Structure 1
Amino acid sequence: MKTVEVIVEHAGNNLSAYIEGAPVITVGNDVKEIEKNMKEAVELYLESCKEMNIAPVEILQGEFTLKFKIDAATFINYYSSIFTKAALSRITGINERQLWHYAAGVHKPRKQQLEKIQKGINALTEELAAINLL
């Protein structure tokens, strides 16, 4: 089964998402809503193709799963109510000022910086998942 990437971006007061190469786009207030709306949008598109007796775009033919991807600026801004730039700096090892630049779109992080952010998020996820409250 192939994986189809859904790109999630910051869109003012909400989020938007699209599949490159497919006429499917959606918006939502949070990531869960984006996931739900995108699945519905893809289903509607595929149903429309079937009703009109046309083939869907190649990327949405056959069996696939959706993989949601978010860029660094969107991640930093979307989760800013949970992670301060200082906290994100501590878990990633990236200078707080640099994180501000990423969030504002002044700079795009290099691949190495994206990997540091991803590694920090993954480490925090594992640590939190291991906690059992009394």
Structure 2
Amino acid sequence: MKSVNVKIERGEDGTYGACIEDDSLPFGIIGDGKTVTEAKADFMNSYEEMKQYFLDTNKDFVECKFNFAFDIASFLNYYSKILSLAGLERITGVNQGQLSHYVTGHRKPGRKTVEKIERNLKEFAEELREVEFI
């Protein structure tokens, strides 16, 4: 089974899209929806339809395992509804003004900023995994 990355992006209209980032596959798949969950479900439905098409036409189908990943702007936009910009600032180390520009799509973060945000979010997630509640 081939491991394939699927990029989740927020569109200008506020909906989300999911698309394969692998040109080596003999097919392409996209999904969209009002939410990330809807976009992923639509994507998986398209995958199953593509699989059936290949079966119906006696073509070899590449079975895939998908790794869904946000681009930074879409991630920040999606989670800014759950976490405040102040909270995201404390977690990522990037000031609220910059984060606001990324969330709204007015600016795109540079490579170093993306790496900083990603690193700090992963460290935060790791800290959460180590927390136990009584």
Q: TM-score range by the shorter chain?
A: 0.7 to 0.9
Q: Tell me which moved more, 122-131 or 7-16.
A: 7-16
Shift of 1:64: 3.2
Name the aligned partner's letter for residue 93 of structure 1: G
Aligned twin of 1:58: none
CA contact 2:31–2:44 (8 Å) conserved in 1: no
Shift of 1:88: 0.9
**Identical aligned residues as a percent:** 34
- Structure 2: where are the runs of 5+ without partners? none
Shift of 1:30: 4.2
Shift of 1:100: 0.9
Q: Distance in 1 between matches of 2:105 and 2:20?
A: 22
- Structure 1: where are the runs of 5+ without partners? 56-60
Shift of 1:118: 0.9
TM-score, length-scaled by structure 2: 0.80
Q: Distance in 1 between matches of 2:129 and 2:35?
A: 22
CA contact 2:101–2:107 (8 Å) conserved in 1: yes
Aligned twin of 2:68: 68
Q: Distance in 1 between matches of 2:50 and 2:63?
A: 15
Report the count of equivalent residues.
129
Cα RMSD of the aligned pairs, angstroms, is 2.1
Q: Tell me which moved more, 63-72 or 97-106.
A: 63-72
Shift of 1:63: 4.3
The correspondence of residues 1-134 of structure 1 with structure 2, limited to 5 A, is 2-11=2-11, 12-20=13-21, 21=23, 22-54=27-59, 61-134=61-134
Q: Distance in 2 between matches of 1:91 and 1:40?
A: 35
Q: Distance in 2 between matches of 1:29 and 1:120?
A: 28
Shift of 1:90: 0.9
Name the aligned partner's letter for residue 20 of structure 2: I
Q: Distance in 2 between matches of 1:91 and 1:32?
A: 24
Q: Distance in 2 between matches of 1:93 and 1:31?
A: 25
TM-score, length-scaled by structure 1: 0.80
Q: Tell me which moved more, 107-116 or 29-38.
A: 29-38
